[in-house]
Amino acid sequence: MTEPITASYVQEDDDWKITVSGSGKELTGRAPGIIAARDRADQLVEKLSPPEHSTVVHLLNGSALEFTAAYMTARLTLPEIEPLEVPPPANGKAKEKTGGKPPVPQGKELPKAVDEAKSKEKPEPAKTPAKAAQTS
Protein backbone atom coordinates (compact mmCIF):
# COMPACT_ATOMS: atom_id res chain seq x y z
CA MET A 1 0.00 0.00 0.00
CA THR A 2 1.20 3.52 -0.83
CA GLU A 3 1.89 5.68 2.21
CA PRO A 4 1.08 9.41 1.82
CA ILE A 5 3.87 11.64 3.10
CA THR A 6 3.81 15.43 3.38
CA ALA A 7 6.94 17.59 3.10
CA SER A 8 6.30 21.15 4.25
CA TYR A 9 8.77 23.97 3.61
CA VAL A 10 9.14 27.22 5.53
CA GLN A 11 11.72 29.86 4.58
CA GLU A 12 13.66 31.30 7.52
CA ASP A 13 16.05 34.02 6.33
CA ASP A 14 18.31 32.34 3.74
CA ASP A 15 17.64 28.82 5.04
CA TRP A 16 14.66 26.51 4.64
CA LYS A 17 13.09 24.43 7.38
CA ILE A 18 11.65 21.12 6.19
CA THR A 19 9.09 19.04 8.07
CA VAL A 20 8.35 15.58 6.69
CA SER A 21 5.42 13.72 8.21
CA GLY A 22 3.86 10.35 7.53
CA SER A 23 3.34 6.89 9.07
CA GLY A 24 2.59 8.63 12.37
CA LYS A 25 6.13 10.10 12.50
CA GLU A 26 7.55 13.56 11.90
CA LEU A 27 11.14 14.48 10.98
CA THR A 28 12.61 17.96 10.53
CA GLY A 29 15.69 19.33 8.82
CA ARG A 30 17.26 22.51 7.49
CA ALA A 31 18.97 23.40 4.25
CA PRO A 32 20.38 26.49 2.49
CA GLY A 33 18.17 27.17 -0.52
CA ILE A 34 15.06 25.47 -1.83
CA ILE A 35 16.93 23.04 -4.09
CA ALA A 36 19.01 21.73 -1.17
CA ALA A 37 15.84 21.65 0.95
CA ARG A 38 14.14 19.43 -1.64
CA ASP A 39 17.12 17.04 -1.57
CA ARG A 40 17.05 17.04 2.24
CA ALA A 41 13.33 16.23 2.17
CA ASP A 42 14.08 13.16 0.03
CA GLN A 43 16.60 11.99 2.64
CA LEU A 44 14.05 12.42 5.43
CA VAL A 45 11.39 10.58 3.41
CA GLU A 46 13.74 7.59 3.05
CA LYS A 47 14.02 7.42 6.85
CA LEU A 48 10.22 7.31 7.21
CA SER A 49 9.33 4.83 4.51
CA PRO A 50 10.92 2.96 1.57
CA PRO A 51 10.66 5.10 -1.61
CA GLU A 52 8.65 2.50 -3.53
CA HIS A 53 5.92 2.58 -0.86
CA SER A 54 5.49 6.34 -0.54
CA THR A 55 3.93 9.25 -2.33
CA VAL A 56 5.32 12.62 -1.28
CA VAL A 57 3.41 15.89 -1.53
CA HIS A 58 5.69 18.94 -1.25
CA LEU A 59 3.98 22.02 0.18
CA LEU A 60 5.04 25.66 0.48
CA ASN A 61 2.58 27.77 2.47
CA GLY A 62 0.18 24.80 2.25
CA SER A 63 0.24 24.76 -1.56
CA ALA A 64 1.83 22.18 -3.84
CA LEU A 65 1.54 24.63 -6.74
CA GLU A 66 3.40 27.34 -4.82
CA PHE A 67 6.18 24.87 -3.95
CA THR A 68 6.46 23.72 -7.56
CA ALA A 69 6.63 27.30 -8.85
CA ALA A 70 9.33 28.29 -6.34
CA TYR A 71 11.34 25.10 -6.91
CA MET A 72 11.21 25.28 -10.72
CA THR A 73 12.10 28.97 -10.69
CA ALA A 74 15.18 28.17 -8.60
CA ARG A 75 16.14 25.25 -10.87
CA LEU A 76 15.73 27.17 -14.12
CA THR A 77 17.30 30.45 -13.05
CA LEU A 78 20.86 30.81 -14.31
CA PRO A 79 23.44 32.00 -11.83
CA GLU A 80 24.83 35.46 -12.41
CA ILE A 81 28.32 35.29 -13.88
CA GLU A 82 30.71 38.06 -14.74
CA PRO A 83 31.16 38.79 -18.45
CA LEU A 84 34.14 37.18 -20.12
CA GLU A 85 37.02 39.57 -20.69
CA VAL A 86 39.15 39.00 -23.76
CA PRO A 87 42.63 40.48 -23.38
CA PRO A 88 43.96 42.58 -26.29
CA PRO A 89 46.71 41.05 -28.44
CA ALA A 90 50.16 41.47 -26.92
CA ASN A 91 52.14 44.34 -28.54
CA GLY A 92 50.13 44.19 -31.78
CA LYS A 93 51.93 41.01 -32.85
CA ALA A 94 48.69 39.51 -34.13
CA LYS A 95 48.38 42.30 -36.75
CA GLU A 96 52.01 41.87 -37.85
CA LYS A 97 51.51 38.18 -38.59
CA THR A 98 48.31 38.72 -40.63
CA GLY A 99 49.38 41.96 -42.31
CA GLY A 100 46.67 43.91 -40.51
CA LYS A 101 43.91 41.64 -41.85
CA PRO A 102 41.71 39.60 -39.56
CA PRO A 103 42.64 35.90 -39.56
CA VAL A 104 40.72 33.68 -41.99
CA PRO A 105 39.15 30.55 -40.48
CA GLN A 106 40.98 27.36 -41.36
CA GLY A 107 39.59 25.71 -44.49
CA LYS A 108 38.22 29.04 -45.79
CA GLU A 109 41.45 30.32 -47.38
CA LEU A 110 41.63 30.95 -51.11
CA PRO A 111 44.10 28.88 -53.10
CA LYS A 112 47.48 30.64 -53.29
CA ALA A 113 47.23 31.23 -57.06
CA VAL A 114 43.84 32.95 -56.71
CA ASP A 115 45.05 35.03 -53.77
CA GLU A 116 48.13 36.21 -55.73
CA ALA A 117 46.03 37.05 -58.81
CA LYS A 118 43.66 39.12 -56.71
CA SER A 119 46.51 41.12 -55.19
CA LYS A 120 47.97 41.90 -58.69
CA GLU A 121 44.65 43.33 -59.94
CA LYS A 122 44.32 47.01 -59.17
CA PRO A 123 40.79 48.35 -58.97
CA GLU A 124 39.95 51.26 -61.25
CA PRO A 125 39.41 54.50 -59.30
CA ALA A 126 35.77 55.55 -59.13
CA LYS A 127 34.82 58.54 -61.23
CA THR A 128 33.16 61.46 -59.55
CA PRO A 129 29.99 62.81 -61.23
CA ALA A 130 31.77 66.04 -62.33
CA LYS A 131 34.58 64.13 -64.07
CA ALA A 132 32.12 61.69 -65.65
CA ALA A 133 30.20 64.61 -67.19
CA GLN A 134 33.40 66.17 -68.61
CA THR A 135 34.52 62.97 -70.37
CA SER A 136 31.13 62.35 -72.06
Rounded distance, CA 44 to CA 38, Å?
Answer: 10
Rounded distance, CA 6 to CA 108, Å?
Answer: 62
Residues 53, 58, 64, 69: what is their CA dihedral angle, to the nearest 10 degrees? -130
pLDDT score for 93: 55
pLDDT score for 24: 87
Chain segment 60-73, per-residue pLDDT in tens: 999 999 999 999 99
Mean pLDDT over the full length of the chain = 78
Q: Is the pTM of this model over 0.85?
A: no
Rounded distance, CA 132 to CA 126, Å?
Answer: 10
Q: What is the torsional sign of CA 37, 42, 43, 49?
A: positive
